[in-house]
Amino acid sequence: MKIAIDIGHNLPCDGGAVGFLNENWCNTAVGMHLISMLEKSQVEVIKCKPGSADDLRDSLKRRVTTANTAKADYYISLHHNAGGGKGSEVFYFSNKGGALASAIVNELALLGFENRGAKKSTHYYVINWSEMPAIIVEACFMDTKTDCELWQRVGAKAVAEAIYKGLNQVLKFSSTPVSA
């Protein structure tokens, strides 16, 4: 099985949210743990964050092109939210994406984040242009103090483990739990 992991933002032309925590940093920290766990479970990980891009649209296009070219089975985009909300939400479009989104958001809620649910959406480039089921994980809000305090208390590894567990519930790539 091939899973494309898109560590969101982290380019000069495509910066993440900055609040009580920095989204670029949180996406990378969670992504590194998640990639390590998946690789330990013999999942082939396609790393989608480009080394450079001309602008925001080019950044998104390069990520999706990498996944499409590699013929990844699933596309997981890692983000943290902003805009004054509270808790975790996961966006999807396809039915299979919906199953992954529900499983992951429920696991994130077990860490203590408010469960904003799995949300069907056509408004995101990576969901629209990827050829495989795709989801965008928004683990919590960078501009909400209580969310950031909880994120720091549980840590990037626990957030990655929650995403891993949700993926594994649906995709069943590992029969034994793997730790980050």
- Using CB under 5 A as the binding rule, whether residue 31 contacts Zn ion is answered as no
Number of residues that bind Zn ion (CB under 5 A): 3
Q: Phi/psi class of residue 151: alpha, beta or left (left: φ > 0; alpha: ψ in -120 to 50)?
A: alpha
Residue 113, SS3? coil
Residue 16 or 97 having the CB closest to Zn ion: 16
- Using CB under 5 A as the binding rule, whether residue 79 contacts Zn ion is answered as yes
> By Cβ distance, which residue is nearest to Zn ion?
79
Q: Give the residue, chosen from 4, 6, 7, 8, that forms a contact with Zn ion under the rule CB under 5 A.
A: 8
- Using CB under 5 A as the binding rule, whether residue 49 contacts Zn ion is answered as no
First to last CA, the chain: 19
Q: Which stretch binds Zn ion (CB under 5 A): 15-23, 84-92, 97-105, 161-169?
A: 15-23
Residue 75 or 170 having the CB closest to Zn ion: 75
- Using CB under 5 A as the binding rule, whether residue 62 contacts Zn ion is answered as no
CA separation for the pair 113, 79 (Å, rounded): 15
CA separation for the pair 168, 158 (Å, rounded): 15
CA separation for the pair 83, 143 (Å, rounded): 7
Give Cβ neighbours of residue 34 (< 8 Å, ≥ 6 apart): 5, 76, 78, 160, 163, 164, 180
Residue 8 or 31 having the CB closest to Zn ion: 8
- Using CB under 5 A as the binding rule, whether residue 19 contacts Zn ion is answered as no
- Using CB under 5 A as the binding rule, whether residue 166 contacts Zn ion is answered as no
Q: Which residues form the interface with Zn ion (CB under 5 A)?
A: 8, 16, 79
